[in-house]
């Protein structure tokens, strides 16, 4: 490690002359700005500079141009470091992104013409409201600007309202069976495995935006795992704990439906848990899973991904010590890490809206879910850090889960993989890598538009939704697949339900009661999603 750091330092030193040239270039740009001859313009989609004052007023125009020239210089320097092979480049890009975003003139009251106008128009009330919002967030939101108005949505009333019942519960999770919406259903049921990070109901948002609602409308028997929000006494829960719960859920679903097999779909980190189950079944000859799907899941973390900004030993060590000392890794800590990967959209946008403009944050369902965080048990958190740092799931036998050495090539059931074009957490090239790692000869890859979560809550009714389909997944590299793929209008949900129908057996009469005749434990959305734990 010391040798790598020394080599990196050497690469950085060799780039000093080039960085000096970029600084000179910045001064040239600033001279052009001062003389009024600069061609620099904000990007048409950059909402920060949408106020016409940035174009019409010479002072503000120069201010914006100077800021954008500085940002461009920073980008050119990091591009130089990229070409030089600097290993700490993700961390440098992360730090540079935070700095350039934080120092945007739109983030300060006196240099934001829209905020000044609003203060004048409201007689100063916007300033008072903004200070009130800031004080409230300082006390109640860890000094971060709120992304959604508190109390705008209630789980079970506005969100997570698809009809169903809890058919099983243990200390780790509940199993929810959803009420069929059609007279006939596919005989092989589907288990949805959400990530242990966050509540499951991003997959059951308001009607019309619910993945679950859509699945049951397409004749799929749909079941959902609802993870318990762990506390300090659950510090020992790890991937094996969650994997064992998935295995138990599969048996509970088989008992409730009489089906010999179950299909599974794992979302994000839920796909990591799912992969340990598939690996275990392949290792032991188990055949209770018929087909498997992965949505925005990375099995191989090696690559120039934004999340690698946190991959240095100091950051990982600190995170590991924090969760070990408390038994859990807190929701706010986890949320902040993800938020700062996109500071313009997820921090300063709300800073300006809430504090400078003195407006309430928007009432948007997915933002309400994002603010409703959960904790991670210390052991699972530590294992995720190991996956993130060393990527053992990309190898063969480098780690063991559920008592079996992990080797993705042993997974030979039909596999469906989904990625998202602008995903900043699990970039689509990394999700495509799963098609190359699994050993199945029946592999489908679908690439959705939008980002990490936005792609998952992208219903067919969204006129802006689109996705790419193509053949040869796993046999060609990611860029070749993309070049040959065909763009489709609509949502990848449609493609997944078609694939599921092909791998879910015949149509049979829908069950008239949930739980296979056994007493249910309460109506959906269940108790765990609302932290109602005895």
pLDDT digits (tens, 9 = 90+) for 71-88: 999 888 887 777 766 666
Residue 318 has pLDDT above 80, yes or no: no
Question: Which residues have CB under 8 Å from 48's CB, separation 6+?
Answer: 42, 104, 106, 344, 348, 352
What does pTM read for this prediction? 0.84
In this prediction, residue 307 carries a pLDDT of: 65
Question: Which residues have CB under 8 Å from 11's CB, separation 6+?
Answer: 81, 84, 85, 86
In this prediction, residue 71 carries a pLDDT of: 93
Which of 59, 76, 107 is the last residue in one of the domains?
Answer: 107
In this prediction, residue 80 carries a pLDDT of: 77
Q: What is the mean pLDDT of the chain?
A: 90
Same structural domain for residues 174 and 246? yes
CA dist 506 → 498, 500, 502 (Å): 13, 11, 9
Same structural domain for residues 276 and 407? yes
pLDDT digits (tens, 9 = 90+) for 123-180: 999 999 999 999 998 988 878 898 888 778 899 999 999 999 999 999 999 999 999 9
pLDDT digits (tens, 9 = 90+) for 271-285: 999 999 999 999 999
Same structural domain for residues 31 and 172? no
Helix, coil or strand: residue 167: strand
In a domain, 321, yes or no: no
Q: What is the CATH number of the domain that holds 294?
A: 3.40.50.1820
Which of 66, 86, 107 is the last residue in one of the domains?
Answer: 107
**Residue tagged 């189950």 (tokens):** 277
In a domain, 307, yes or no: no
Q: Active site residue: 173, 205, 264, 268, which one?
A: 268
**Band (364; pLDDT cuts 50, 70, 90):** confident
In this prediction, residue 224 carries a pLDDT of: 98
Q: Say which residue, 14 or 457, is predicted with more confidence.
A: 457
Same structural domain for residues 290 and 415? yes
Residue 12 has pLDDT above 60, yes or no: no
Residue 17 has pLDDT above 80, yes or no: no
pLDDT digits (tens, 9 = 90+) for 428-454: 999 999 999 999 999 999 999 999 889
Same structural domain for residues 191 and 91? no
Same structural domain for residues 48 and 193? no
**Per-residue pLDDT averaged across 478-482, rounded?**
97
In a domain, 170, yes or no: yes
Same structural domain for residues 292 and 423? yes
Task: Give the Cα separation of 453 and 434 in Å (integer).
Answer: 19
In a domain, 234, yes or no: yes
Same structural domain for residues 411 and 289? yes
Q: For residue 268, indicate whether it is catalytic.
A: yes
Residue 362 has pLDDT above 90, yes or no: no
Task: State the SS3 of 515-531.
Answer: HHHCCCCCECCCCHHHC
In a domain, 169, yes or no: yes
Task: Give the Cα separation of 477 and 304 in Å (integer).
Answer: 16
Range of the domain at 236: 164-300+395-530
Q: Extract the tokens encoding 146.
A: 């709120």
**Residue tagged 């007279």 (tokens):** 183
Q: Extract the tokens encoding 345.
A: 């959209």
Q: In this structure, which long-range contacts are made by residues 339-347, counting pairs with CB atoms below 8 Å and at least 24 apart in sequence?
A: 339/144, 340/94, 340/98, 341/94, 341/306, 341/307, 341/309, 341/424, 341/425, 342/424, 343/97, 343/98, 343/101, 343/102, 344/48, 344/101, 344/104, 346/147, 347/101, 347/144, 347/145
Q: Say which residue, 101 or 366, is predicted with more confidence.
A: 101
Same structural domain for residues 172 and 256? yes
In a domain, 432, yes or no: yes
Same structural domain for residues 102 and 216? no
Tally of residues, the chain:
534
Task: Give the Cα separation of 47 and 357 in Å (integer).
Answer: 14
Same structural domain for residues 401 and 513? yes
Which of 64, 87, 107 is the last residue in one of the domains?
Answer: 107
- Count Cβ atoms within 10 A of the Cβ of residue 367 and give its class: 0-12 exposed, 13-18 middle, 19 or more buried: buried
Same structural domain for residues 68 and 193? no
Per the structure, how many domains does the chain have? 2
Q: Is the N-terminal amide bond of 525 cis, ω within 30° of 0?
A: yes
In a domain, 58, yes or no: yes
In a domain, 356, yes or no: no
In this prediction, residue 366 carries a pLDDT of: 84
């Amino acid at each position: 490690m010391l040798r790598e750091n020394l080599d990196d330092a050497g690469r950085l030193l060799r780039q000093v002359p080039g960085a000096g040239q970029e600084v000179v270039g910045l001064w040239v740009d600033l001279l052009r700005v001062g003389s009024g001859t600069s061609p620099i313009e904000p990007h048409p989609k950059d909402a920060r500079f949408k106020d016409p004052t940035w174009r019409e007023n010479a002072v503000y125009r120069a201010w914006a141009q100077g800021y954008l020239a500085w940002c461009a210089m920073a980008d050119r320097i990091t591009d130089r470091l990229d070409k030089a092979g600097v290993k700490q480049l993700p961390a440098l890009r992360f730090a540079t992104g935070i700095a350039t975003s934080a120092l945007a003139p739109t983030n300060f009251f006196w240099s934001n013409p829209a905020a000044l106008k609003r203060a004048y128009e409201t007689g100063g009330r916007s300033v008072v409201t903004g200070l009130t919002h800031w004080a409230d967030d300082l006390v109640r939101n860890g000094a971060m600007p709120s992304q959604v108005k508190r109390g705008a949505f209630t789980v079970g009333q506005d969100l997570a309202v698809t009809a169903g019942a809890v058919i099983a519960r243990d200390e780790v999770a509940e199993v929810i069976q959803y009420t069929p919406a059609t007279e006939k259903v596919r005989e092989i049921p589907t288990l949805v495995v959400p990530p242990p990070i966050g509540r499951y109901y991003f997959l059951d948002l308001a009607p019309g935006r619910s993945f679950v609602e859509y699945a049951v409308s397409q004749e799929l028997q749909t079941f959902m795992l609802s993870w318990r929000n762990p506390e300090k006494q659950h510090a020992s829960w790890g991937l094996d704990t969650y994997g064992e719960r998935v295995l138990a859920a599969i048996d509970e679903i088989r008992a409730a439906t009489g089906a010999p097999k179950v299909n599974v779909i794992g979302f994000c980190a839920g796909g990591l848990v799912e992969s340990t189950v598939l690996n275990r079944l392949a290792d032991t000859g188990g055949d209770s899973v018929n087909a498997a799907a992965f949505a925005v899941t990375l099995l191989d973390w090696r690559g120039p991904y934004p999340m690698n900004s946190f991959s240095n030993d100091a950051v990982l060590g600190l995170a590991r010590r924090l969760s070990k000392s408390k038994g859990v890794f807190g929701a706010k800590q986890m949320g902040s890490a993800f938020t700062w990967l996109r500071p313009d959209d997820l921090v300063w946008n709300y800073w300006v809206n809430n504090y400078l403009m003195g407006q309430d944050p928007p009432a948007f369902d997915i933002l309400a879910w994002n603010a409703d965080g959960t904790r991670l048990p210390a052991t699972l958190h530590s294992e995720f850090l190991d996956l993130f740092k060393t990527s053992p799931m990309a190898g063969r036998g480098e780690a063991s889960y559920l008592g079996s050495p992990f080797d993705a090539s042993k997974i030979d059931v039909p596999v469906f993989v989904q990625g998202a074009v602008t995903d900043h957490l699990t970039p689509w090239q990394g999700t495509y890598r799963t098609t190359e790692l699994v050993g199945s000869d029946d592999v489908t890859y679908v690439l959705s538009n939008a980002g990490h979560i936005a792609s998952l809550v992208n219903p067919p009714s969204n006129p802006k939704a689109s996705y790419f389909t193509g053949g040869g997944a796993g046999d060609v590299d990611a860029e070749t697949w993309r070049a040959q793929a065909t763009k489709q209008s609509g949502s990848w949900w449609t493609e997944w339900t078609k694939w599921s129908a092909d791998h879910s057996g015949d149509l049979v009469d829908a069950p008239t009661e949930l739980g296979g005749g056994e007493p249910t434990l309460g109506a959906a959305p269940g108790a765990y999603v609302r932290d109602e734990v005895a």
